[in-house]
Amino acid sequence: MGDGISHSGGVAHEVLAAVLQVRDGSLQVMLWQRAREPHVGRWALPGGGLCPDEDVEASIRWHLAEKVDVRRLSHVEQLAVFSAPDRVPGPRVVATAFLGLVPCDVDPETPEDTAWHPVAALPETAFDHGAIVLRARDRLRAKLSYTNLGFALTPPEFTVSALRELYSAALGYRVSATNLQRVLSRRGLLEPTGRTAPPGPSGGRPAALFRFTGRGLSVTDPFAVLKPPRSTR
């Protein structure tokens, strides 16, 4: 991933993406290891310079194509503009950051310099990229409360138990499967497929499969907030 950054009016502009996925039971972010100074060897978000004739979303999709098949992304949205004068060493660089999501049933091929890292245990990152990752995590958590964005984390069909695991990993606390199903069903976001999952090694009753009623972002309850359970202590 190059560091060629465009300049407009003396201020450089770059685009960055925090691509998140629930992998191995935790929320993880895709990072690549810098091969040049400054911050050589540190982990960084994929991205690069904004060309004069590009809009920011077209630019980040082009840069992401170098790291991951953008068709694997289930959702992309602009996150925030990071413009602190000292966010990178040397001349000022303004960054437009994006949140990208990959469903859990996809394992994108990535180059050797790129790897997934748990958001809860980030390595040393370049510049302010760690703060951008946490902003992306917080955006995801907020939108899981009042939109149907859970669709972007899931495969086309899933059990309620599997959905609970995805929400728990993204939110950072254990979610009740019963409450989650009740809330999402009340909002009209879940529907049964009429099929069941294959039985596990221990047998038992096959679990029903569900799907999201839509796989495009929509606000479902603008004032809803999913909160962790109260402590019993």
Q: From 132, 160, 211, select the one nearest 140 (Cα to Cα).
A: 132
**153 & 197 share domain:** yes
The band of 3, judged by pLDDT with boundaries at 50, 70 and 90, is low
**137 & 28 share domain:** yes
**60 & 26 share domain:** yes
Kind plus residue range of the DSSP H or E element containing 162: helix 160-171
**155 & 125 share domain:** no
pLDDT at 40 over 80: yes
- Residue bearing tokens 């069941």: 196
Q: Could you read off the pLDDT of 43-101 as tens digits, one per residue? A: 999 999 998 888 999 999 999 998 888 778 999 999 999 999 999 999 999 999 999 99
**158 & 63 share domain:** no
123 contact partners, CB below 8 Å, separation of at least 6: 31, 42, 43, 117
Residue at 220 is within a domain: no
202 contact partners, CB below 8 Å, separation of at least 6: none
Last residue of a domain, one of 128, 143, 158: 143
CATH number, domain of 204, equals 1.10.10.10
Residue at 82 is within a domain: yes
Q: Which domain holds residue 149?
A: 145-212
**133 & 40 share domain:** yes
**94 & 15 share domain:** yes
CATH number, domain of 63, equals 3.90.79.10
**137 & 63 share domain:** yes
**Buried/exposed 186-209: b ≥16 CB within 10 Å, e otherwise:** ebebbeeeeeeeeeeeeeeeebeb
**150 & 67 share domain:** no
Range name among 32-46, 177-191, 202-216 with the lowest pLDDT average: 202-216
**62 & 14 share domain:** yes
Number of structural domains the chain divides into: 2
> How many CB atoms lie under 10 A from the CB of residue 166?
22
Encoded tokens for 147? 């939109």
Residue at 14 is within a domain: yes
Task: Report the distance separating Cα 114 and Cα 30, nearest Å.
Answer: 7
Last residue of a domain, one of 127, 143, 159: 143
Task: Report the distance separating Cα 29 and Cα 87, nearest Å.
Answer: 20
Residue at 55 is within a domain: yes
Task: Report the distance separating Cα 5 and Cα 93, nearest Å.
Answer: 8
Residue at 72 is within a domain: yes
**169 & 185 share domain:** yes
Task: Tell me: cis bond preceding 38? Omega within 30 of 0 counts.
Answer: yes
pLDDT at 1 over 70: no
Residue at 218 is within a domain: no
Last residue of a domain, one of 114, 143, 172: 143
Q: Could you read off the pLDDT of 213-225 as tens digits, one per residue? A: 999 999 998 878 7
**45 & 119 share domain:** yes
Q: Could you read off the pLDDT of 96-131 as tens digits, one per residue? A: 999 999 999 999 989 999 999 999 999 999 999 999
